[in-house]
Amino acid sequence: MAIGEIKELPKSWAMLGGDGPETYTLNSSYQKGVVDASTEMVDDGIMEKLDLKSLGFESTNDTFRIADFGCSVGPNTFFAVENIMKAVQHKHHAQFNNSPFSGFQVFFNDVTTNDFNTLFKALHSNEKYFSAGVPGTFFGRLLPRSTLHFAHSSYCLHWLSKVPKEVLDSESAAWNKGSIQCDGLKKEVTKAYSAQFQSDMNTFLKARAQEIVGGGLMVIITGGLPDGVLMSQAGIGMHYDLLGSCLIDMAELGVISEEKLDSFNLPLYYSSSKEIEEIIKANGNFSIERMDSLSHNIWKTSRETKIKVSVTGGRAVFQGLLEDHFGREVAEKTFENFETKLDENFSIIDGAAHEHIDHFILLKRNVN
């Protein structure tokens, strides 16, 4: 394992598995919307930036290999992969005058505690592509050198490999007492989170650079913030503050200790496009072919739908984190109270001056 690579992440980093009513499988409509919103950009990127001839597909029957890093339990990963395959086939037909295409192999990656059983049960047997599960953190090498022609990662990289230790240290200037997130209000906290994000992104890019062939493409979709906007000013930051207030209430009631509360922070960092661009350029292994933001249909839906997506989606994503730290009973009560508070404060959050953005980044692996 190379220096800087992360061996494994905490088990609670995985989304809520299974196929029951509270699981990620049935409560990831926001993430599905991100995939839908990116389809046209992915299509355009493949048509304009992927040169199958230079990758050797004119003279060989090589299989086109794709990986989805952070696939979770489905079904969103299948939609993303099928969109990529359709676009590649279209490009192949256009570039080689409808000559036969050799086929696809797809690698589905997520942490070792991801519910791969549910994922592959949902993958119907067909002849569209060969598939394989690749368990392990993507903050490190997972595949042999020059394996991939296309890499994809959607809504994963705003998750850090760990919470910065400084924000949990009462002796540190970056101690984040009173908040469970990087809200941007304390520069020392922001600096600690930003440094962890930069380190993680660089590790991710270095690993993918070894796995992707020269001229291959990678799409990264991740949660972020408009340049100059603090997390506390965005609706998503207000959501997390509201979730944190539910835990603060329980600490004040003596249900959990203050020390237990102070030792909990979300391992999330929403970066600006400028910050991401600087990291990619400093890494030096990829050229930036496109950076854009996605338009999500959730903002056009009803009040009731927004509340439901926030509560059920939040539970599917954060249930494991809260249970691991506070126990199941506290986690359940937190989401009950969160739903009540969100309903009471919805007009304030929905009327936030800013909203987070979903970054779309298309990269091409440099040819060495």
**pLDDT at 74 (0 to 100):** 78
Express each pLDDT in 52-72 by its tens digit. Answer: 999 988 776 789 999 999 999
Of 81 and 25, the structure prediction assigns the larger pLDDT to: 81
pLDDT score of 16: 85
Compute the distance between CA of residue 87 and CA of residue 76 in angstroms, rounded to an integer. 17
pLDDT digits (tens, 9 = 90+) for 200-220: 999 999 999 999 999 999 999
Please check the confidence at residue 258 and state whether its pLDDT lies above 50.
yes
Average pLDDT over the chain, rounded to whole? 91
66: nearest Cα among 80, 56, 52: 80
What does the longest C-alpha to C-alpha distance in the chain come to?
A: 71
State the pLDDT at residue 8. 54
Q: Please give the pLDDT value at position 11.
A: 53
Q: Residue 275, Cβ neighbours under 10 Å: how many?
A: 18
Nearest by Cα to 184 from 40, 192, 364, 343: 192
Q: What is the mean pLDDT of residues 331-350?
A: 92
Rounded alpha-carbon distances, angstroms, from residue 34 to 4, 109, 153, 278, 304: 30, 19, 11, 24, 20
**pLDDT score for 29:** 86
**Where residue 6 falls among pLDDT bands split at 50, 70, 90?**
low
pLDDT tens, 306-339?
888 889 999 999 999 999 999 999 999 999 999 9
Neighbours of 10 (CB within 10 A): 16
* Predicted confidence band of residue 160 (pLDDT cuts 50, 70, 90): very high
If pLDDT is split at 50, 70 and 90, which confidence band does 87 have? very high
pLDDT in tens, 134-148: 999 999 999 999 999
Contact 168, 235 (CB under 8 A): no
Distance CA 238, CA 274 (A): 23
| pLDDT-derived band at 3, boundaries 50, 70, 90 | very low
Length reported for the chain: 368
